[in-house]
Amino acid sequence: MTDMTQPVLSVRDLRVEFATRRGVLTALDGVSFEINRGEVLGVVGESGAGKSVTGSAVIGLIDPPGRIAGGEIRLNGERIDNLPPDAMRKVRGKRIGMIFQDPLTSLNPLYRVGRQIEETIRTHTDLSARAARQRAIDLLAEVGIPAPERRIDGFPHEFSGGMRQRVVIALALAAEPELIIADEPTTALDVSVQAQIITLLKRLGRDHGTAVMLITHDMGVIAEAADRVAVMYAGRVAEIGPVAAVVSDPLHPYAKGLMGAIPSLSHEADRLAQIPGAMPRLSAIPPGCAFNPRCPKVFARCTVDRPEPLVVGSHRVACHLYDASGQAAA
């Protein structure tokens, strides 16, 4: 029986490595976070921060030469990162659903969408073929597909981009998962459809009690959809906290840079703020704090010691600007 008080997803000190001819590259280094029932956790950062690798590790899609080299992943208290492949396949799709960035890569163009949803339902439940079809119709209706009794027999190319993404969300919900990982689910969509998909994800999480891990580079999507946000940089969580607190009062210099780069609607500016430099390559992550070459507040300790996460108010931040008591350092 599920313990309603424990987080749906708990990730502790997760480390992911990729073996290459030039040595071992560390893609994730000590990533920790949790997601509760009905909660949307936004995971944000530049390309290369480790967002998608984190999602792939949770759902068990890190293939050789990559591997989970340390830490643990628990789904409703059960450890899943060390499950054998056959056992993990039963978790994937049934207990964890996945929404990818491009719905065309998630749907087989040769099969009708109804067949693909029904196959997932029958794989993970005991429903008959007739009952599975009816559930597929109900799911399409729930995600906002008009005339689902007719559209269920359509092929993916007969749907618009937004409608295909709704089909993929229905596919992710097919077995009533405990967790949904949405990897850039709105990137390929126009702004009005983005808003509809965001509203849909929030409603589904609330109505089903499903935990949602929303991976994106778009702070506007995070601010609108998420309850909490984790800001990632170079394979680590730089800051995590309630979305309103992180957006209005970010603590980590990288998070401040991300917020400062968002255009303001209240006043005009000649130039947008920007973070100098670029995300470091995995083969060239600097010692100490990985952000130190780009940080406007860098000091000597930042180039030597890697900061560990500290609780500062409602945030958890990995930065030497804050001492062990959670107060801003002098």
Give pLDDT tens digits for 196-218.
878 888 887 888 889 999 998 88
258, two tokens: 């991300």
Q: Residue 96 — φ and ψ, nearest 5°?
A: -130, 125
In the chain, beta strands by DSSP E: 9-20, 23-35, 40-44, 66-75, 78-79, 96-99, 179-183, 211-215, 228-233, 236-242, 310-312, 315-317
pTM for this prediction: 0.89
For residue 188, name the pLDDT band (cuts at 50, 70, 90): low
Instruction: Give residue 330's pLDDT.
Output: 47
In the chain, the percentage of residues whose pLDDT exceeds 90 is 66
Domains of the chain: 9-95+177-322 (3.40.50.300), 96-176 (no CATH)
Query: In the predicted model, is pLDDT for residue 1 greater than 60?
Result: no
d(CA 302, CA 78): 37
pLDDT digits (tens, 9 = 90+) for 57-93: 999 999 899 999 999 999 999 999 999 999 998 899 8
